[in-house]
Amino acid sequence: MKRADVRVGVGGWTYEPWRDNFYPKGLPHARELAYASRHLTAIEINGTYYSGFKPEHFRKWAAETPDGFVFSLKATRFATNRKQLATAGESIRRFIDSGPTEMGARLGPIVWQFMPTKQFDAEDFEAFLALLPAKEGSHVLRHVMDVRHPTFISPDYQALADKYGVSTVFTDSDKYPSFDEPQGPVAYARLMRSDAAYVNGYAPKALDEWAERARKWAAGRETFVYFINGAKEKAPAAAGALLDRLGWKPPSD
């Protein structure tokens, strides 16, 4: 497996149960990102959904990670948690201007997450998609929609996503609807059913199956698989087990 084919990781890097579990005993908290980025190939940053950050934060995070590592960013909730998405232009611009492109090559897809109660309105959603910039300076921006209401699982929504070149999150969650496969130019999976009963969060057979699916997705597009929820303390182990099945090993240094 080429490192760029399938990127596998978790949501965030600061989580108390990962200490003395995923992270070695006594590892300084300030070194957790550096450690995680050498044992996974991607991280989805959740904090950018809740709070604003500055260019120096993005530069710092990028500087702590090795070449080839990629961050996905959850975009600001102030753009997506609103009655009329067509009015989100200022919030979108503020997020883009906050500095994510300072990550350079380490900037991966931007995820726009919607509330489970947000229903699909074709006119309003198209207005939102039209506000998303395709580029920022020399950086091509890749947008992923995390839609969570059953009304989005429709040909009309998919036609709009295709028209604007955005991708749609695939999930195994039993709480949120999902297309049967990842949709769009980027395959983006958020896996949420890890179980504390398994050493690696998922049964070995299930991880074998996810590895096979990820290989198929990656045959034609860059693929991201994140272990996000369920028994979250198992997320790094699940990601590591999947990377192992895909043939990737942590760097020796």
Q: Give the start-to-end residue ranges of the domains of the chain.
A: 6-245
Residue whose C-alpha is closest to residue 131's, from 110, 159, 102: 110
- Asked if residue 226 lies in contact with residue 44, where contact means CB atoms within 8 angstroms, the answer is yes
Residues 6+ apart with CB under 8 A from 93: none
Residue position matching structure tokens 């999902």: 178
Q: How many CB atoms lie within 10 A of CB 225?
A: 28
- State which fold the 6-245 domain adopts: TIM Barrel (3.20.20)
Question: Average pLDDT over the chain, rounded to whole?
Answer: 95
**Per-residue model confidence (pLDDT) at position 188:** 98
- Kindly tell me if the per-residue pLDDT of 32 is higher than 90: yes
Give the pLDDT band of residue 249 (cuts 50, 70, 90): confident
pTM: 0.95
CA distances for 28 relative to 20, 31, 64, 197, 224, angstroms = 11, 5, 14, 29, 28
- Kindly tell me if the per-residue pLDDT of 5 is higher than 50: yes
CA distance 152 to 252: 44
CA distance 215 to 5: 8
Helix (H) and strand (E) counts for the chain? 9, 11
Alpha carbon 202 to chain centroid, angstroms: 19
- Kindly tell me if the per-residue pLDDT of 116 is higher than 60: yes
- Kindly tell me if the per-residue pLDDT of 37 is higher than 70: yes
* Amino acid present at 139: H
Residues 6+ apart with CB under 8 A from 235: 10, 11, 194, 201, 227, 228
CA distance 148 to 177: 6
